């Protein structure tokens, strides 16, 4: 009996140690467990390109940090997320703190969108690419689990809306381009 107990304890220690190591895969990107869950969700739907960008395969060659932040301190309280460069030249993605507790799939879509801004070129083409990445990520989650479209959260509502717009013109992006063109947030973007 004692041997069985000892084997069970050793197995539990090995199992738990393995899980701790797995959750630390994104330590260079985030310390937040909700964001780490979103990153894991991105991996599960095959968005390894987003993970690669965040891990350093980007214009800076450095990992991109992702965290929740009150965006009103930047005058961006109406934004869901934003990507910026720090004074030291590192790229950071801030997700509006009001989205803490959102479904990890919806947070993952924002991260996928914002990851496309690592070049910091601020063009309409970059913004369009970011919206396409966001909607393709949401569609991948929906293909995996159709029930997520029914979740009651503002980010889910946003993702469903973008997916409907994109489907309306068969993925050509005209509806998304109209949103970008008419949104005052994007008014200063170069063509």
**What are the pLDDT digits (tens) for 172-184?**
989 999 999 998 8
Q: Please say whether the beta carbons of 111 and 54 come within 8 A.
A: yes
The winner for highest mean pLDDT among 23-32, 36-45, 79-88, 122-131 is 36-45
- Tell me the pTM: 0.86
* Residue partners of 43: CB distance under 8 A and separation at least 6: 51
The confidence band for 68, taking pLDDT boundaries of 50, 70 and 90, is very high
- Specify whether the CB–CB gap between 52 and 28 falls below 8 A: no
Outline where the chain has alpha helix (H): 2-23, 33-44, 48-55, 104-115, 124-144, 154-168, 174-182
């Amino acid at each position: 009996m004692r041997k069985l107990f000892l084997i069970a304890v050793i197995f539990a220690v090995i199992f738990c140690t393995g899980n701790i190591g797995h959750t630390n895969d994104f330590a260079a990107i985030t310390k937040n467990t909700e964001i780490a869950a979103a990153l894991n969700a991105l991996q599960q739907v095959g968005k390894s390109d987003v993970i690669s960008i965040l891990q350093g395969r980007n214009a800076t060659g450095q990992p991109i940090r992702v965290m929740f932040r009150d965006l009103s301190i930047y005058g961006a309280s109406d934004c869901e997320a934003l990507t910026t460069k720090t004074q030291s030249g590192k790229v950071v993605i801030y997700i509006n703190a009001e989205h803490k507790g959102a479904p990890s799939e919806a947070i993952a879509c924002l991260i996928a969108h914002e990851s496309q801004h690592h070049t910091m070129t601020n063009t309409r083409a970059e913004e369009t690419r970011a919206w396409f990445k966001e909607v393709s990520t949401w569609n991948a989650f929906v293909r995996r689990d159709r029930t997520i479209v029914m979740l009651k959260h503002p980010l889910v509502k946003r993702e469903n809306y973008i997916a409907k717009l994109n489907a309306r013109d068969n993925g050509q992006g005209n509806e998304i381009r109209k949103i970008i063109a008419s949104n005052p947030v994007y008014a200063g973007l170069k063509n």
